[in-house]
A and B are shown apart, each in its own frame.
Chain A
Amino acid sequence: MTTAHATLVRWLVDPARQEELLGDLEELAGRGTGRFWLDVASVCMRQSRVVAAARTPSRLAAALAVVAALTLGSTAPTLRTVRAVDPAGEFTLEFAGARVVGATLDGAPVPPHRLIQQPGRLVIRGGGDAGNDLNIRLASNGAFYWRARSPRPTTRP
């Protein structure tokens, strides 16, 4: 279960029911994404403190619309930036879900045309040793692996 799922449940669900519902969803997190979202959304809608607080049909309809919008909106992938270091220096990768949407090398943004993404693999053109490509393997669990680059020769003034 991601932080987004847990935050959504904590925000929407009756606090008295959160422990067992979050625990159940934790057990169900290995299901397919669509199926898991069905369970998260159904719990948010049917155990919602927002819906419970609405006593008239119009307020209930408004509350359901808010819950639905929040549930659908939270399916947007969250951005995370991962910093990596090897002997040549530092680089970062910015992920939207499992997809890399940005990168930096030594603090400088890498232009999009130098980022080549394929299933399970990312290439940063010219990001490796001696101007070669930096090849990065992307694992399904969000980790990534690369061959450490060599230290750069120090330049003399």
Chain B
Amino acid sequence: MARIGAFEELVLLAVGGLAGEGYGVTIQSDLERETGDTISLGAVYATLDRLERKGLLRSRMGPATAERGGRRKRLYRITPDGAAAVREMQRIRARLGGPSPHPASA
């Protein structure tokens, strides 16, 4: 199974949450809203490309819209392998997590 990094996991979760209608702007917007960080569009697309090469996402071109100057969106959908990769990361985290870490007492 393909290993994913923390940011890749966030992108996969955002794409999954948008149910096949996610594209660059909405994925970036959801990530910024939930993380509170500034995330560049270039970073989002670089990660989307990498995840698609790994077979964890699939993309298709949507219809043209007027507010985009008649240009089409590239819509992303999570694949079964992508969903499995997210579940695996969550399992690993749950196994490692346990109680919240705390400093050793003196």
Chain A residues with CB under 8 Å of chain B are: 17, 19-28, 35, 38-39, 41-47
Q: Classify the interface of chain A: helix, strand, loop or mixed.
A: helix
Taking A38-B38, A46-B42 as known contacts, 13 extra A-B pairs with beta carbons closer than 8 A to each other, sorted by chain A number, are A19-B72, A20-B23, A20-B72, A21-B24, A21-B41, A21-B45, A22-B71, A23-B68, A24-B23, A24-B73, A26-B69, A28-B25, A38-B40
B46 CB within 8 Å of chain A: yes
| Contact between A27 and B40, CB atoms less than 8 A apart | no
Chain A residues whose CB sits within 8 angstroms of the CB of B69 once the complex forms: 22-23, 26
Contact of A20 among B38, B40, B67, B74 (CB under 8 A): B74
Chain B residues whose CB sits within 8 angstroms of the CB of A19 once the complex forms: 61, 71-72
Most central of A21, A35, A41 by chain B CB within 10 Å: A21
Binary per-residue interface labels of chain B (70-83) against chain A in the complex, 1 for a CB within 8 Å, 0 otherwise:
01111000000000
The complex places the Cα of A37 from the Cα of B61 at a distance, in Å, of 25
B43 CB within 8 Å of chain A: yes
| Contact between B67 and A26, CB atoms less than 8 A apart | yes
The complex places the Cα of A28 from the Cα of B40 at a distance, in Å, of 11
Most central of B23, B25, B65 by chain A CB within 10 Å: B25
